[in-house]
Amino acid sequence: MTPPRAVSAAFLAFLFMILFSDTAAEIAREDFPTTLRLERAIPRRGVEIEHLKARDLARDLARRKNGRRLSVVGVVDFPVDGSANPFTVGLYFTRVKLGNPAKEFYVQIDTGSDILWVACSPCDGCPTSSGLNIRMEFFDPEKSSTASKITCGDDRCTSALQTGESICTTSESSSSLCDYTFQYGDGSGTSGYYVADMLYFDTITGDEQAINSSATIVFGCSNTQSGDLTKADRAVDGIFGFGQHDLSVVSQLSSLGVSPKVFSHCLKGSDNGGGILVLGQIAEPGIVYTPLVPSQPHYNLNLESIAVNGQTLAIDSSVFATSTTQGTIIDSGTTLAYLADQAYDPFVNAIVSSVPKSASAFVSKGNQCFVTSDSADSVFPSVTLTFMGGAVMLLKPEDYLLQQGNVDNAIIWCIGWQKNQGQGISILGDLVLKDKIFVYDLANQRIGWSDYDCSSSVNVTMSSGKNEYLNAGQLDVSGSSHTASRFIFVLVHIVYILTFLLHR
């Protein structure tokens, strides 16, 4: 028979082994820096503002859902590359894996459209190389064992017909391919047909597990491209539409039970760019929300006023009212920012009036510019956008200015916001969206934002109403308090058992 003290020592060693093996595994998971951000240095190259003005504008696409329902709702993570700097990249993009065997595609992150589409083989006008140092790919549904082409007789095509996102005609048979043609504001366009195939992604669930997941989704197979989409300087494989209609990936994965109907991004404003993009709700202090304008094809917000240096501009509120020809749109697919015609001149005049005479003002190619040797924050005023419900977006000078170059020891700054000539639409593009958390809460029809260092990690809630958070910088649910509590619990029981054995 083993003596009591020997029993206690062996039992104690056993308990410590259980405690530390389990707890150490959790600590290792918490400390291991598995980031969600993909960052890549991009070669610098110059681009005329006029070219960006011609290229930018809101994109308007589509609808519909399909696929099998999954049993778990979690946060879906996508890597982010690119930057808001129009003189380096001027767009943000991510990677998606499609088909079987899976192929990886680089696609622009675009909240101004709804459809995910990639270049397909064969393709007329599609670039085969990119100045962004990425490898271009082509999707071939004939070489994917899980791909199926959507036909005109498919319910998903019928739904797309109702919203103008399909061009099937009554003369075509039900077995004809469900085609589409998308035109963008810069005159570029793409056409092709819809396919259904596997999308692969990483899902983080409420039990702290990272799962390699997949789901069947519908996306566009582009076989013709035109305009700027054909240019190789900043070419990508396609566009990832994050709109709220049924055919967007956000809506499709939500309807399948894969992820909540909310997505968030935090786009780094530095030249190296990158950031965070998740299907889930970033939950950080200070996020303010304003309701979405209902029944709109884009993410329209009710902008109520603009203030420069705390002084509200004398702009009639009707200028910001939402209609088919007016309104304010949040669009990550636009590089710069555009103000409605009647709001632009009061805005620029207020900036000019607020800048001290030490900064020389001049106009270059229609853009208001300044030369100063002082820091931007000390020279230029702050700008405040106020939205419905009192939600305020405070903008720093770097949110409306572009650094155009240097003269001796002075910097040339130009106003990067452009006049939407003859139009009542205002578009807040990457110049404004960078260095901020943005939450698109589609389930509750609202958008929220907060200033943030997008190189830092964030907490992401799994679903509305739960207190489970994901550290998006470390791919882990916040479990430090849970781990500590369990450590204390087991330690107390060790002391209790040891005391009992020693006093038998």
Among residues 60, 81, 110, 476, which one is catalytic?
A: 110
DSSP at 248: S
From the number of C-beta atoms within 10 Å of its C-beta (0-12, 13-18, 19+), residue 320 rates as buried
Report residue 151: phi and psi, to 5°: -105, 170
Catalytic residue among 77, 179, 237, 331: 331
Told to judge if 110 belongs to the known catalytic residues of this protein, a careful annotator would answer yes
Q: Strand 189-204 relative to strand 179-183: parallel, antiparallel, unpaired?
A: antiparallel
State residue 347 phi and psi, 5-degree precision. -65, -50
- How far apart are alpha carbons 196 and 157 in whole angstroms? 12
Torsion sign, CA atoms 472, 474, 477, 480: negative
Which class for 175: exposed (0-12), middle (13-18), buried (19 or more C-beta within 10 A)? exposed
Q: Are strands 459-461 and 281-282 parallel, antiparallel or unpaired?
A: antiparallel
CA dihedral 200, 204, 208, 210 (to 10 degrees): 20
- Mapping DSSP onto H, E and C, the string for 107-131 reads EEEECCCCCEEEEEEEEECCCCCCC
Question: In sequence order, what are the beta bridge partners of 219?
Answer: 195
What's the CA gap between 422 and 73, in Å, rounded? 45
Indicate if 154 belongs to the active site: no
Strand order in the sheet with 281-282: 281-282, 459-461, 469-471, 476-477
| 196 neighbors 98 (Cβ within 8 angstroms) | no
**Which amino acids are annotated catalytic?**
110, 331
